Amino acid sequence: MNKKISKKWKTGILFFLLVGFLMSMTFIQLPYFAFKPGSVNELSRRIVVSKGRSFEPSGEIHFTTISQDASINGWEFLEGTFKDSVHLIDEDSILGTRNRNENQTFNFDLMRVSKSTAVSVALSHLGLEPYKTTGVGVVSVGGPSEGILTTSDVIIAINGKKVFTDQDLIFEIRGHEPLEVIRLDVEKIDGSDPREISIELGSREDEPSIAFLGIAPQTRLEDNDDLPVQVLVNTGKIGGNSAGLALTLSVLDVLTPGELTGGFQIATTGTIDLEGNVGPIGGVEQKTVTAREAEMDLFLVPEDSLEKARKHAGEMQIEGVSNLNDALEVLTELGGNGDSLELPNN
């Protein structure tokens, strides 16, 4: 009889331990982010052409996303530990000194800059100048300019001669001698408070015969409102900057006649800078699975992510690119018109 009671107690204890374990695995919150395959998002419907002509493509450029779970339990932690398509990263590596709300805002800011850059790169590729140079900003101040200029100032003329870029300013300064007094027309970054100031030039320590203003110059760029096209991109509540290449290609596709994609469904990932260089991204494994499961015809990835991506591509064609021209060449080989993109004449 005592043995039967003892066995029941053991069974009961094991049962409650099991229930406790299952509940702890379900409700415990671990300090990790889980990144999983997400979705592909077609872009042409997100490109809004408010000025100029637009063209509806038959193929499509898509950007890929990953599903980000910022609060995972024990089961999700086990899934991420043993499943290749799930990537776990500790929250400190993701957040740094930011909290979760600040991190979300940061990612939205990345997307905002990415959209602006992508549109600029696309317009530049079509022979337009998306920005105009309007003066020389001051990144840092020292030497003869200290106490006279500030980082809120923009220099627009030297001795009455306009300077539009940092190179203009450097050229003008080199035309003067150390100890020479020059007049600068200056205004604030927003164009307010125009004024004239005088500065006695110093001399460089390494080359005393060369005049020295004592600032680190940076060209001020402003949007060019005189362009024949105006483009906006609506990405909703999606953050990050890994859609840069996709956005650039889609803007080119929508603004030009013909088929950039050759009629195929193209997924891409990769940042882009103002020179058209494609930069690295995170989560390429998850994005490759996403593109493969969406049955994309081609997936373009940054060159340095190609090896990782190929392991998850299956039968899907995948190509690595280093810049915009590389991507256009791949699309041309696929049957698109990436080698002959032009704005319409009217």
Q: Which helix (H) or strand (E) holds 272?
A: strand 271-272
Q: What is the CATH number of domain 32-129+227-333?
A: 3.30.230
Average pLDDT of 158-165?
94
Dihedral pair phi/psi, residue 223, rounded to 5°: -60, 140
**What's residue 239's pLDDT?**
75
**What's residue 11's pLDDT?**
65
Rounded CA gap, 56 and 62, in Å?
A: 14
The answer, yes or no, to whether residue 28 has pLDDT greater than 80, is: no
CATH 2.30.42.10-classified regions of the chain: 131-223
Are 128 and 227 within 8 A, CB to CB?
A: yes
57, two tokens = 């493509």
Rounded CA gap, 69 and 39, in Å?
A: 14
**What's residue 262's pLDDT?**
93
Of the listed ranges 73-82, 123-132, 248-257, the one predicted with least confidence: 73-82
Q: Which helix (H) or strand (E) holds 78?
A: helix 74-82
Q: What is the pLDDT of residues 116-158, one digit of tens each?
A: 889 999 999 999 988 888 899 999 999 999 999 999 999 999 9
Rounded CA gap, 67 and 287, in Å?
A: 9
Read off the amino acid at residue 160: G
How remote is the C-alpha of 135 from its chain's centroid? 26
The answer, yes or no, to whether residue 80 has pLDDT greater than 60, is: no
**What's residue 345's pLDDT?**
78
**What's residue 304's pLDDT?**
93
Read off the amino acid at residue 136: V
Work out the percent of the chain whose per-residue pLDDT is above 70: 78
CATH 3.30.230-classified regions of the chain: 32-129+227-333
**What's residue 196's pLDDT?**
96
Q: Which helix (H) or strand (E) holds 301?
A: strand 298-302
Q: Which helix (H) or strand (E) holds 43?
A: none
The answer, yes or no, to whether residue 2 has pLDDT greater than 80, is: no
The answer, yes or no, to whether residue 30 has pLDDT greater than 60, is: no
The answer, yes or no, to whether residue 53 has pLDDT greater than 70, is: yes
**What's residue 224's pLDDT?**
83
CA neighbours within 13 Å on the CB side: how many for 32?
19
Of the listed ranges 63-72, 192-201, 273-282, the one predicted with least confidence: 63-72
At the second CATH level, the architecture of 131-223 is Roll (2.30)
- What is the CB neighbour count within 10 angstroms for residue 166? 20
pLDDT range class, residue 15, cuts 50, 70, 90: low
Report which of 267, 345, 272 is spatially closest to residue 60, judged by C-alpha positions: 267
Higher-scoring residue by pLDDT: 178, 90:
178
**What's residue 21's pLDDT?**
53
Burial (CB < 10 A; 0-12, 13-18, 19+), residue 15, is exposed
Higher-scoring residue by pLDDT: 32, 322:
322
Kindly list the distances between the CA atom of residue 18 and the CA atoms of 6, 15, 22, 24, 25, in Å, as whole numbers in the listed order. 18, 5, 6, 10, 11
Of the listed ranges 79-93, 107-121, 212-226, 297-311, the one predicted with least confidence: 79-93
209, two tokens = 């015969």
- What is the CB neighbour count within 10 angstroms for residue 131? 16
The answer, yes or no, to whether residue 172 has pLDDT greater than 70, is: yes
Higher-scoring residue by pLDDT: 275, 345:
275
The answer, yes or no, to whether residue 94 has pLDDT greater than 80, is: no
**What's residue 113's pLDDT?**
80
Work out the percent of the chain whose per-residue pLDDT is above 90: 53
**What's residue 96's pLDDT?**
66
**What's residue 234's pLDDT?**
87
Determine the 3-state secondary structure of 331 from DSSP: helix
**What's residue 1's pLDDT?**
47
Whole-number mean pLDDT of the chain? 84
Helix 244-255 × helix 100-125 angle, to 10°: 40
Report which of 83, 76, 57 is spatially closest to residue 251, judged by C-alpha positions: 57
Q: What is the pLDDT of residues 326-341, one digit of tens each?
A: 999 999 999 999 999 9
Any idea which residue has 């998306």 for tokens? 130
